[in-house]
Amino acid sequence: MVVSAREEASRIGLDVLMKGGNAFDAAVAVHFALAVCYPQAGNIGGGGFMLARTASGENVALDFREKAPAAATRDMYLDADGNVIPNLSTLGHLAVGVPGSVDGMETLHQKYGTLPWKDLIMPAVDLAEKGFILTELDVIELNQYFADFESLNPYNKYFRSSQPYKVGDTIVQAHLGITLRKIANDGKKGFYDGPIASMIIKEIKRGNGILTFEDLQNYQSVWRTPLIGKFYGYDIITMPPPSSGGIALLQMLHMLEKLKIKKYKINSAEYLSLIVEVERLAYADRSHHMGDPDFYKVNSSALLDQGYLKGRYAGIKPLKYTPSVNVTPGKTESEQTTHFSIVDKFGNAVAITTTLNSRFGGKVFVTGGGFLLNNEMDDFSSKAGVPNQFGLLGDSANAIEPGKRMLSSMTPTIVCKNKKPVLITGSPGGATIITSVLQNILQTLLYNKSLKDALAMPRFHHQWYPDKVYLEEDWSLYSSIIDQLKKAGYPLEYRGSIGRVDAILKKGKLYYGGGDPRGDDMSAGY
Ligand code: GLY
């Protein structure tokens, strides 16, 4: 079973599985296919995380997150008065972190792949050369960024049509086809060295960026030790730092179990209020205690310590609103990304979340290379106390340093019961990734909703600051719940869709694939 943001990518992954490939082979093929048909977030110019559980019961986490270029400095996005310069960390060439995706795919293939590397990339080459067809959502998202593409990429014809795009238009990406062919033939060297690397550096120089050839050459993915926590008898296996997602998810699940969340009806006002209160605490910790573990000692065990958490959730009661100003990090010492989930006949389960950060990254296209570069530098804290594009706060733990990975919210997660995967899940959505994954776990495993029903439920989100409870529009249909929350003092705000969970749920002997109805996501299985 493969579930991803696009039908084309899910079918390519399924094909790999049906040819006898394992979930890791399929993951490589899906990742490169998404770089073609889901340029909003699928990428070779970005980075991501893989969380997997092998058929033999090994839990693994691969970090192929982007890094700050060697020439990056702590105050690079501040003006002479120390104020953050708008858009510098989100748009254009200075926003680019060193891409990790191609290295990540090769690293995971070398360790766990069984089919030849080239065979896994050629379907993406084919898709680039033959083209993919734009959906309604693609058209909305592409036309929305016309002005940015126009100003940042005067030499590029891709995604810069003189006419607005229409549903059904075919996008052929000849340059990307050549780039992917090079990677298919030469592996990661085809990207981090030679003509493609030169094109990247030329493009960066054209826009006064700081990424260098040495940054590309020095990039290396890192195997990390997954975090594992318990929740109502399930084992939750999730992503460690430099993601904040795993720690925050495990903190919230633990506190919710202790607060006896199961006593309350799903989506009742009490249920929402308890979840909002634990989200407030977890995101407060995220802002202060988390960063790249290679640069900042993230004390995961202290943050997940039951005694520590007990002190945090003491006092939380249903419908008792705690203003964020009364909550501080504990003392211990256009959002877009994409997620896909895969399980194979051997019992391997793979969850990958990968990103350019904003939709279409920093809107910088590598001239001649045919692909977009990330704007992941905005995931650093440019200045303590000043929110990034997702409204997230940070300080020195996540300050910019050369070669450091920026803190992420990506939360690829696998839940096991009796040592076997029962849920493979993850989501895009910037700050809302963690809370979307949390809700998916609660809906399917605690409240036994089918995956289809779970994905259709309206989501909500809270992140400490701003002190608002964000609600998807559909919540307006639940007026009595909304009234109760308002009466209890919760500051509510409606917004567009939250998260896009692509998950696989095992019930009995069957795997159910669920592509989030908020997008064009699709599952494919046999
Ligand atoms: N770029 C979104 C994240 O990593 O959290």
Identify which has the larger pLDDT, 423 or 385: 423
Residues 163/77, Cβ–Cβ less than 8 Å = no
Burial state string for 35-69 with b = 16 or more CB within 10 A and e = fewer than 16: bbbbbbbbbbbbbbbbbbbbeeeebbbbbbbbbbb
CB 357 near ligand 1, within 6 Å: yes
Residue 437 · residue 249 · CB < 8 Å? yes
Q: Which tokens is 503 given?
A: 């998950």
pLDDT of residue 135: 97
pLDDT in the model for residue 332: 59
**For position 7, what pLDDT does the model report?**
98
pLDDT value at 421 more than 80 = yes
Residue ranges of domains in the chain: 2-223+339-383, 228-235+242-336+410-507
Quickly tell me which residue has 């495990």 as its tokens: 250
Share of the chain above pLDDT 90, in %: 93
b vs e for 310-331, b when ≥16 Cβ sit within 10 Å of the residue's Cβ?
eebbeebebbebbebeebebbe
CA distance 427 to 441: 12
pLDDT score of 151 = 87
The Å distance, Cα 379 to ligand 1 centre, comes to 6
Burial of 265 (0-12, 13-18, 19+ CB in 10 A): exposed
Structure tokens at 471: 């609600």
User: What counts of helices (H) and strands (E) characterise the chain?
Assistant: 17, 20
Candidates 337, 358, 406, 407: which one to mutate for ligand 1, based on the most atoms within 8 Å of Cβ?
337
pLDDT digits (tens, 9 = 90+) for 213-272: 999 999 999 999 999 999 999 999 999 999 999 999 999 999 999 999 999 999 999 999
pLDDT bin (cut points 50, 70, 90) of residue 69 is: very high
3-state DSSP of 224-241: ECCEEEEECCEEEEECCC
Residues 234 and 254: their CA atoms lie apart, in Å, by 11
For a mutational test of ligand 1's pocket, the pick from 238, 339, 355, 398, i.e. the residue with the most ligand atoms closer than 8 A to its C-beta, is 355
Per residue in 164-209, pLDDT (tens digit) is 899 999 999 999 999 999 999 999 999 999 999 999 999 999 999 9
What's the pLDDT at 333? 46
pLDDT at 331 over 80: no
Q: Which atom of ligand 1 is nearest to the CA of 428?
A: 2
Two structure tokens written together for 482: 């909304």
DSSP 458: P
What band does 380 get if pLDDT is binned at 50, 70 and 90? very high
* Strands 522-524 and 510-514, bridge-based pairing: unpaired
Confidence at residue 342, expressed as pLDDT on a 0 to 100 scale: 98
DSSP labels, 322-383: --GGG--------B--EEEEEE-TTS-EEEEEEE-SBTTTTSEE-TTT--EE--GGGGSBSS
Note the pLDDT of residue 334: 65
**Where is average pLDDT lowest: 96-110, 157-171, 338-352, 429-443?**
157-171
The residue behind tokens 């009364």 is 326
Q: Give tens-digit pLDDT for 442-485.
A: 999 999 999 999 999 999 999 999 999 999 999 999 999 999 99
Q: Classify residue 293 as exposed, middle or buried by CB count within 10 Å of its CB (0-12, 13-18, 19+).
A: middle
Q: Is 454 helix (H, G, I), strand (E, B) or coil?
A: helix
Are residues 389 and 335 in contact, defined by beta-carbon separation less than 8 angstroms? Answer: yes
Give the residue, out of 49, 374, 376, 437, with the most ligand 1 atoms within 8 A of its beta carbon, to mutate for a pocket test: 376
- Model confidence over 288-316: pLDDT tens digits? 999 999 999 999 999 999 999 999 999 99
Domain 228-235+242-336+410-507 fold: Serum Albumin; Chain A, Domain 1 (1.10.246)
Whether 409 is in the pocket of ligand 1, judged by its Cβ within 6 Å, is yes
411 CA from centroid of ligand 1 (Å): 9
What's the CA gap between 160 and 367, in Å, rounded?
Answer: 13
* CA dihedral (72, 77, 80, 81) positive or negative: negative
Please give the positions annotated as active site: 337
Q: Token pair of 380, please?
A: 């650093």
Closest atom, ligand 1, to C-alpha of 376:
1
Contact (CB, 8 A) for 269 and 484: yes
CB 430 near ligand 1, within 6 Å: yes
What SS3 string covers 93-117?
HHHCCECCHHHHHHHHHHHHCCCCH
Q: At what angle do helices 269-289 and 479-487 cross, to 10 degrees?
A: 60
What share of the chain has pLDDT > 70, as a percent? 98
Asked if the model's pLDDT at residue 275 lies above 80, the reply is yes
Does 244 sit in the ligand 1 pocket, CB within 6 Å? no
Cα of 89 from ligand 1 centre, angstroms? 13
Tens-digit pLDDT profile for residues 350-368: 999 999 999 999 999 999 9
Name the average pLDDT for the chain: 96
Give residue 149's pLDDT: 87
Would you say residue 61 has pLDDT above 80?
yes
Listed residue (180, 78, 55, 48) closest to 119, CA to CA: 180
pTM over 0.85: yes
pLDDT in tens, 134-172: 999 999 998 888 888 888 887 777 776 667 899 999 999
Identity of the residue numbered 437 = V
Q: At what angle do helices 117-130 and 23-37 cross, to 10 degrees?
A: 20
Which residues, in sequence order, are bridge partners of residue 285? none
Find which of 108-122, 145-159, 383-397 is predicted with most confidence, using mean pLDDT: 108-122
